[in-house]
Amino acid sequence: MQRVQDPTASAALVPPPALTGPIGFFQPAVPGITAATRYRYWIANMLQEELMSILAAAGVAPDTTGTEFTGVLRSIEALIAAKVPLTGSWIDQTASRALNTTYTNSTGEALAVSVNVISVSSTGQVQIFYVGALQVVQTQLGGTGGGSGGTINLSAIVPAGATYRLASSIAAIVNWLEMA
What is the tens place of the pLDDT at every residue in 51-104? Answer: 999 999 999 999 988 888 899 999 998 888 777 666 788 999 999 999 999 999
Q: From CA 129, how far away is CA 154, in angstroms rounded?
A: 7
Structure pTM?
0.54
Domains in the chain (CATH in brackets) are 1-83 (no CATH), 91-179 (2.60.120.40)
User: Which of 9-13, 89-93, 167-171 bottoms out in mean pLDDT, i.e. has the lowest?
Assistant: 167-171
> 117 with 175: CB under 8 angstroms?
no
